[in-house]
Chain A
Amino acid sequence: MIEIKNLSKSYLGKRALENVDLRLPRGEIVGLFGENGAGKTTLMKCILGLLPFDGEILLDGSPVSRRNIASLSFATSEHSFFPNLTPLAHKEFCKEHFPKFSEKRFKGLMDFFELPLKKPLRSFSTGQKNQFEVIMALCQGADYILMDEPFAGNDLFNREDFYKVLLGILEPNETVLLSTHLIEEVSGFIGRAVLIRKGKIIGDVSMMDLEESGRDLVGYIKETYHYRADRVSRALNELTDTEE
């Protein structure tokens, strides 16, 4: 389980995360939602130990360190692979460093997405790069897979295929924390939704509870975010009103 206790993070005095408390048990697929700049990426980077922070993050009861960091993998839209390497060379590099790297999963996913094995990653399209990024995160052998906007740049069909494959291949003890703006698309795929706004967790709901209450994810998010439905029409009225 990932336990986040009283996590705070500031950038040059500006609060990016404020007293965040969150628990991510094994085997859950969690959606992390929030507007741009809400703190989603910062939260993930803190979990991964890429950023210093105040508070405590425990990974299966221990602070994140080099001893247990292999339990965490990361797929980001910024991409974390080496663009000059081929997928094959990248696989060799990861196999060398992550003992639980799954060659079988790698081969299966590379075949599924029909990605070339011997072309440098820099020559891939953005969609292919995203696919490879996610493939590497899934093959590392991590128990907790953090994905930050992994599908930005992929077409709808591609994304849907990916959700299906992901659901099919994930082991019961694998946890996914998925940050995305594609709320409707992932609503059928996640088991829990966490909402973050201005660095604070403002909502945390299981999809089952949501279903039982007869609400959908988009509605829940709008409600929790106090989304004003008349916002657009009011703005348009103001913009199109003739000056008196």
Chain B
Amino acid sequence: MKHKIERYAPPGINIHLEIRYYFTGLLCAFLYSMLFLIRYSNSLSKLYGWVGNNRVILPDAVMDDFYLILDSCLLGFVIIAVAVLFLIVYHYMYHYQGSKSIYLMKRLPNSRELHFRCITLPLTGAVISMLLAVILLFAYYGIYIACTPKECLTPGQWQKLWSVLL
């Protein structure tokens, strides 16, 4: 029992269902975040025009700012992180459902067991979700910088992003 995932959840709770919902949520958040690529490719194509059969950069073409293209693309991960934190409350409430197993948990010699089982997985889920958001933020920023023609980039993209976020 020690190394199973159940060890990190309230005894008897359907943790596999919670995990399934969590990963489904992550997948949806990831797919939603890919909207960035569509928006980016739209903005990128606006930089170009056709001269005969040649695709050329339009004079004075300026790429849209990164934060404008990104918009709410990573919001799904934040929503998931907040939602899984609500699971902490559910995990505590679980000990009052069908019985008062809270009495047993509060009587355990290990005082941290109750909190460990209620908090560990939701907190890990929230951290993973936010970590994915950060990784994707860097990945999308990398794509933005690497694939946008240098002459179309305006300086201070990263600073603009943070000024919007903060």
Given A92-B1, A93-B11, A96-B1, A82 contacting B99 (CB threshold 8 A): yes
Residues of chain A with a CB closer than 8 A to B155's CB: none
A81–B106 CB distance below 8 A: no
A78–B100 CB distance below 8 A: yes
Residues of chain B with a CB closer than 8 A to A73's CB: 107
The winner among B10, B101, B113 for most chain A CB atoms within 10 A is: B101
A66–B101 CB distance below 8 A: no
B103–A80 CB distance below 8 A: yes
B11–A50 CB distance below 8 A: no
Given A72-B107, A83-B12, A85-B11, A97 contacting B113 (CB threshold 8 A): yes
**Measured CA separation A96–B99 after assembly (Å):** 21
Q: Dominant SS at the B interface?
A: loop
**Measured CA separation A92–B4 after assembly (Å):** 13
Please report which residues of chain B, range 86-123, place their CB below 8 angstroms from some CB of chain A when the two chains form the complex: 97-104, 106-111, 113
Interface status of A119 (Cβ within 8 A of chain B): no
B104–A80 CB distance below 8 A: yes
B107–A69 CB distance below 8 A: yes
A81–B99 CB distance below 8 A: yes
Please report which residues of chain A, range 74-104, place their CB below 8 angstroms from some CB of chain B when the two chains form the complex: 74, 76, 78-85, 89-90, 92-93, 96-98
Interface status of A191 (Cβ within 8 A of chain B): no
**Measured CA separation A50–B14 after assembly (Å):** 27
A-B contact count (CB 8 A): 72
Interface status of B13 (Cβ within 8 A of chain A): yes
B113 to chain A, nearest CB (A): 7
B12–A48 CB distance below 8 A: no
Which residue of chain A is the closest to B95 with respect to CB atoms? A82
Residues of chain B with a CB closer than 8 A to A74's CB: 103-104, 107
A78–B99 CB distance below 8 A: yes
Residues of chain B with a CB closer than 8 A to A66's CB: 109-111
Interface residues of A (CB under 8 A from B): 48-50, 66-67, 69-70, 72-74, 76, 78-85, 89-90, 92-93, 96-98, 120-122
Interface residues of B (CB under 8 A from A): 1, 10-14, 97-104, 106-111, 113
17 other contacts beyond A76-B100, A92-B1, A121-B99, with CB at 8 A cut-off? Answer: A48-B106, A70-B109, A72-B107, A73-B107, A78-B99, A78-B100, A79-B100, A79-B101, A80-B100, A80-B104, A83-B12, A83-B98, A83-B99, A84-B13, A97-B109, A97-B113, A98-B109
